[in-house]
């Protein structure tokens, strides 16, 4: 199976199913909602995959949570399920798709899960459709990787770019900073959730300010108004770049054109800076 032009193994697909539809998932609510619905509260922290699936970092930290499996969820009165699912949209928890968007593929059963307008992912929903659902979810809003079109890999300045390009990570965590550093030869960076401080330290020690877009090894660094680094990518030459859009398990290390990366990364308040890797 290919997703965004990248080979996905059966084992990785199984992992994606577990990450999109774990056995237990968090439902967020106010204290008043928790009392009204009489749900078992649980302050378990999401693991790194769940954090990205549900984008729990966007959820108000003052909310309470209940972790429910599918049987427990389905045993709730439908009125409660409907209110609970609607509340996830209100509280900005992710992975609460619209019935309308998926009815044609998944059938009318999803409209019976909650209020008829929204539903949540369980393995039963994915049973016979995972090979269609997961590529659609993972590929949403992302362009395909152009790694197969790279004519010549800049092995001197980016010795590991070729092996990284066109790969999905083995889970959440690996991000844009680690991808750039790993491509340049930093051991262990490919699988690390690389933080700003070590990335900035690597820039200071291994690059010079300025650079050209048409040569390999120019690191693009986007900083916010406080000069905190927000994203990074590196040029491969021939108008192409290597980058990883986020730390999520859903985003691959992919090759896009310089123009495409700049367009997709355009954010109010961010400013682009260039650095050249020293060889």
Tens of pLDDT, residues 250-260? 999 999 999 99
Average pLDDT over residues 113-126: 96
pLDDT for residue 221? 98
CA–CA dist 238, 97 (Å, integer): 39
pLDDT at 140 over 90: no
Q: What is the pTM of this model?
A: 0.93
Q: What phi, psi does 274 have (nearest 5°)?
A: -120, 145
Asked if residue 141 has pLDDT above 80, the reply is: no
pLDDT digits (tens, 9 = 90+) for 39-60: 999 999 999 999 999 999 999 9
Q: How much is the pLDDT for 230? A: 97
**What would the pLDDT profile of 154-169 be if each residue is shown by its tens digit?**
999 999 999 999 999 9
C-alpha 31/C-alpha 87 separation (Å) is 12
Lowest mean pLDDT among 24-38, 131-145, 149-163, 245-259: 131-145
Q: What is the pLDDT of residue 108?
A: 93
Q: What is the pLDDT of residue 14?
A: 96
Whether the pLDDT of residue 187 is over 90: the answer is yes
Q: Residue 93 pLDDT more than 90? A: yes
pLDDT score, position 210: 97
Architecture of domain 147-277: Alpha-Beta Complex (3.90)
- Sequence-distant (≥ 6) Cβ neighbours of residue 218 within 8 angstroms: 211, 212, 234, 235, 274, 275, 276, 277
State yes or no: pLDDT of 248 exceeds 80.
Answer: yes
Place 139 in a pLDDT band, splitting at 50, 70 and 90.
Answer: confident
pLDDT of residue 127: 86
Q: What is the mean pLDDT of the chain?
A: 96
Residue of 110, 49, 119, 56 whose CA lies nearest to 84: 119
**Dist CA 232 CA 189 (whole Å):** 14
Mean pLDDT of 222-244: 97
CATH 3.90.1720 domain position(s) in the chain: 147-277
pLDDT at residue 204, rounded to an integer: 97
What values do phi and psi take at 63, rounded to 5? Answer: -75, 155
Element (H, E) at 176: helix 176-183
Instruction: Say what percent of the chain tops pLDDT 90.
Output: 96
pLDDT value of position 249 = 97
**Is the pLDDT at 197 greater than 90, yes or no?**
yes
């Amino acid at each position: 199976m290919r997703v965004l032009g990248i080979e996905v193994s059966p084992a990785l697909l199984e992992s994606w199913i577990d990450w999109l539809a774990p056995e237990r998932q968090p439902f967020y609510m106010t204290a008043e909602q928790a009392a009204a619905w009489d749900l078992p509260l649980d302050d378990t922290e999401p693991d790194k995959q769940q954090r990205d699936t549900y984008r729990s970092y966007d959820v108000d930290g003052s909310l309470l949570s209940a972790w429910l499996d599918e049987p427990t969820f389905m045993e709730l009165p439908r009125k409660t399920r409907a209110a609970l699912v609607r509340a996830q949209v209100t509280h900005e928890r992710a992975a609460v798709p619209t019935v309308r968007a998926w009815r044609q593929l998944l059938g009318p059963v999803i409209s019976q899960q909650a209020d008829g307008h929204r539903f949540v992912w369980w393995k039963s929903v994915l049973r016979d459709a995972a090979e269609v659902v997961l590529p659609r979810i993972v590929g949403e809003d992302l362009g395909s990787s152009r790694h197969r079109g790279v004519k010549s890999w800049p092995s001197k300045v980016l010795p590991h770019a070729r092996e990284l390009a066109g790969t999905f990570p083995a889970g959440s965590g690996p991000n844009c900073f680690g991808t750039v550093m790993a491509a340049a030869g930093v051991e262990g960076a490919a699988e690390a959730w690389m933080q700003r401080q070590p990335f900035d330290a690597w820039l200071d020690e291994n690059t010079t300010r300025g650079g050209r877009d048409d040569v390999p090894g120019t690191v693009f660094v986007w900083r916010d108004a406080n000069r905190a680094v927000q994203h990074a990518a590196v040029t491969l030459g021939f108008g192409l770049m290597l980058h990883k859009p986020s730390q999520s398990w859903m985003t691959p290390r992919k090759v896009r054109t310089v123009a495409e990366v700049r367009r997709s990364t355009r954010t109010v308040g961010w400013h682009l800076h260039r650095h050249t890797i020293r060889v």
